[in-house]
Amino acid sequence: MEITESMVNVNLHKRECVQKTSVTRLNQIAKRIFDIVFSLLVIVFIFPIIFPIVILLIKLDSKGHIFFIQKRNGLNNCVFHCIKFRTMVVNNEADKTAAVTNDQRITKFGKILRISSIDELPQFINVLKGEMSVVGPRPHMISDNLKFEKVVANYQIRHLVKPGITGLAQINGYKGHVNTVQDVKGRTIIDIKYVQNASLILDVRIIVGTIKLMVMETIRAKKASRCTEQDELLNS
């Protein structure tokens, strides 16, 4: 599939990106310290409040394990085990087919977890282990990675930094599943832009943007749910 002129930013020489990231060694150290402190704060103060409630509701909603652990590609394309709260019924396609809009495999409570991004909270354990960062390109499952690198030039540049729980692409309209090839290209362009301009200040801005997005999407979901309930009452 051809890359158009609008995708020119993707056609960056990998060596240039490597040189740029190697120059910011001090930033990498600061980023790791930030990741450790931030993830510890979340684990100590947020986990004890959120985890018991989420675990109970997942168990009540459907059968299966609390967590969904999947192999994904990380820094330098190395494979690691990404941890999430399970949002689907147990199925044999989970590692082969990514979730899509109105996916029948997603549970009722799973929809809430995905909309609010609470399903990603366990990944702070990955951050503490050094497999992920708080901010970075989202890690894709291995089967998707193999597909995406065939349709986007220099796709692997996004693996020059650690994958993140959230990223620049996510606060710019590329949150969740990928619908089309153009979505893959658009997300990759933003991911590479992040690799080129990664800094602690940018990370903080992305985190703030992510929190705002989570709040807005949660409010929007509640309004939609209320409208649906009202329609059901009127039609009953």
Q: Are 81 and 70 a contacting pair, CB within 8 Å?
A: yes
| Alpha-carbon distance values, 163 to 4, 6, 166, 188 (Å) | 27, 25, 9, 13
The four Cα atoms 128, 133, 138, 142 give a dihedral, to 10 degrees, of: -50
| In the chain, domain spans | 5-235
Burial (Cβ within 10 Å: 0-12, 13-18, ≥19) of residue 26: exposed
State how far the Cα of 181 lies from the Cα of 187, in Å rounded to an integer. Answer: 10
As a whole number of angstroms, the distance between CA 142 and CA 74 comes to 10
For the entire predicted model, the pTM comes to 0.84
The rounded distance, in Å, linking the Cα atoms of 193 and 189 is: 6
Along the 236 residues of the chain, how does pLDDT read in single tens digits? 333 433 434 444 445 555 455 447 788 899 999 999 999 999 999 999 999 999 999 999 999 999 999 999 999 999 999 999 999 999 888 777 787 778 889 999 999 999 888 999 999 999 999 999 999 999 999 999 999 999 898 999 999 999 999 999 999 988 877 778 889 999 999 999 999 999 999 999 999 999 998 888 878 777 766 665 566 556 66
Residue type, 108: K
